A and B are shown apart, each in its own frame.
Chain A
Amino acid sequence: MEKKVIFNEDICKSCSLCVQVCPTNVIFLSDYLNGKGYRPARVVNQENCISCAKCAQICPDSVIAVYRPVKILQSV
């Protein structure tokens, strides 16, 4: 499925604020390191993300871009 949250892993500093604030607990710190030696935050379970954007709003480094699926109304 299309991604609801995209993390710019190169600039993440592992502060974990997004992990703490996510209401569906889909964010976690990966076990690999980015170029700066931090473990970037990531989401695997995009299905359970509700696009609330709390993570993006609390991120001090503008790491996260958030998208929401648009419901297309069907006309009969």
Chain B
Amino acid sequence: MTMKAVFKKTCGLTDKPTHYCPGCTHGLIHRLVGEVLEEMDILEDTIGVASVGCSVLSYEYFNCDMIQAAHGRAPAVASGVKRVLPDRFVFTYQGDGDLASIGISEVIHAAARGENITVIFVNNAIYGMTGGQMAPTTLIGQKTATTPFGRDVSIQGSPIKVCEMIATLDGAAYIERVSTHDVLHIQKAKKAIKKAFETQKKGLGFSMIEVLSTCPTNWGLDPAESLDWVKDNMVPVYPLSVYKNCEGVK
């Protein structure tokens, strides 16, 4: 009986086993990016910018040239790389602390300038690496290490909806929010990531894919429960949609 390969590990990732927690969607999202780069045959022309958070070691997992950026500064570093090498593909891979807290200025201005880079924004509503503190995207009522009684609007304000905000900028060309809570949405997430890199390929401007993700360890849930938590709690607050699609990127 001849067997046809239906699914194999992408060459967009190295062989190094990841350090992520069991069930952490970082591994998934890394794989989707790797697959897209492989399928578009741009892996060798890509420079990735690693950020600071659980994914700080992502430069050991992506099988392309990688540069480590300071916390929050990845879009600025990526701008520096892309301005010098406009024909290469440049992406950043950032968590919600890196992008929405300390780095909010950098991502806004990269989008405003229409930097032709792709930002992969992994939103799990919490700070993973440092032990579960509140993130700008933490939900109201969500208990974290720094909101032990639940996020209170009157004290800590409300979560930031990054896609909606960035989409208002003219330089933003393709902005979409996706999720990883089941296989169907994982497939849609991959399509969105591909559209983002297509946007970069066409030189249309700034692209960003916000991926709703899990943190089983700091949420105190098992991996499967975490996926359900995304579906039941995060999707209503962060609607899945294309927020900007200039020139109808397909």
Interface residues of A (CB under 8 A from B): 1-4, 10-11, 13-17, 20-21, 38, 51, 53-54, 56-62, 64-70, 72
Would you call B8 an interface residue if the criterion is a C-beta within 8 Å of the partner chain's C-beta atoms? yes
Interface contact A60-B224, CB-CB below 8 Å: no
Among residues 17 to 34 in chain B, which have CB atoms less than 8 Å away from a CB atom of chain A? 17-18, 20-28, 31
| Pairs A-B, 8 closest by C-beta atoms | A60-B27, A15-B23, A13-B22, A15-B22, A67-B3, A66-B7, A56-B7, A62-B9
The interface bits of chain B over 194-229 (1 if a CB of A lies within 8 angstroms of the residue's CB, else 0) are 000000000000000000000010000011100100
Number of A-B residue pairs, CB cutoff 8 Å, is: 85
Interface residues of B (CB under 8 A from A): 1-10, 13, 17-18, 20-28, 31, 182-183, 186-187, 216, 222-224, 227
Q: How far is the CA of A72 from the CA of B66 in the complex (A)?
A: 44
Q: A15-B223, A59-B28, A67-B3 are in contact. List 18 more A-B contacts (CB 8 A).
A: A3-B3, A10-B17, A13-B21, A15-B22, A15-B216, A17-B23, A17-B223, A38-B22, A58-B28, A58-B182, A60-B23, A60-B25, A60-B31, A66-B5, A67-B6, A68-B3, A69-B2, A70-B3
**Smallest Cβ distance from B53 to chain A, in angstroms?**
16
Choose among A4, A13, A54, A69 the residue that contacts B183 (Cβ–Cβ < 8 A). Answer: A54
Q: How far is the CA of A38 from the CA of B17 in the complex (A)?
A: 14
Interface contact B3-A11, CB-CB below 8 Å: no
Choose among B2, B13, B23, B182 the residue that contacts A62 (Cβ–Cβ < 8 A). Answer: B13
